[in-house]
């Protein structure tokens, strides 16, 4: 059994039925689902339950990220004694967000920063809270 496809632009003919069958199966498979998604989702449980009231997942972890930003800023500015602009520049590289965004989020969470300053955690307390960072 041989199938023939004619391309209009180059008027070339492909008579390889195996290649055609593979291309057709890939087209059908890729148009219906993401490759390997069922296998991976069957292995790993869902990280969180989706909230049907929101359309996107843009702000799912922003509260946790902002708390982490505040503690990291406290570390760089108060414990490591970095200048303000240096602390923001280092945090840009750590969190992969712009410095203006970091400043805006810290300004919005100024009550948290005041609470952190009042509690005065040391490196050990910060290491216990966020063990994946180098304190």
Q: Is residue 77 part of a domain?
A: yes
Global pTM value: 0.58
Q: Is residue 31 part of a domain?
A: yes
Q: Is residue 53 part of a domain?
A: no
Residue 16 to residue 2: CA distance in whole angstroms: 7
Q: What is the DSSP letter of 45?
A: P
For residue 41, the cross-strand partners are none
Q: Is residue 32 part of a domain?
A: yes
Q: Give me the pLDDT at residue 9, please.
A: 47
- Residue 71 shares a structural domain with residue 114: yes
| Total domains, the chain | 2
The whole domain housing 32 covers: 5-40
Task: Mean pLDDT check: name the lowest of 29-33, 39-43, 59-63, 82-86.
Answer: 29-33
Per-residue pLDDT tens digits for 65-111: 999 999 999 999 999 999 999 999 999 999 999 999 999 999 999 89
Residue 115 to residue 79: CA distance in whole angstroms: 16
- Residue 34 shares a structural domain with residue 69: no
């Amino acid at each position: 059994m041989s199938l023939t496809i004619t391309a209009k632009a180059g008027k070339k003919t492909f008579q390889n039925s195996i290649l055609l069958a593979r291309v057709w199966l890939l087209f059908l498979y890729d148009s219906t689902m993401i490759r390997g998604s069922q296998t991976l989702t069957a292995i790993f449980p869902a990280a969180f339950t989706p909230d049907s009231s929101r359309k996107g997942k843009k702000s799912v972890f922003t509260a946790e990220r902002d708390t982490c930003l505040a503690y990291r800023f406290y570390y760089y500015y108060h414990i490591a004694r970095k200048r303000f602009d240096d602390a923001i520049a280092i945090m840009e590289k750590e969190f992969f967000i712009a410095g203006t965004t970091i400043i805006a989020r810290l300004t919005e969470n100024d009550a948290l920063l005041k609470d952190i300053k009042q509690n005065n955690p040391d490196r050990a307390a910060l290491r216990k809270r966020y063990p994946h960072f180098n304190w």
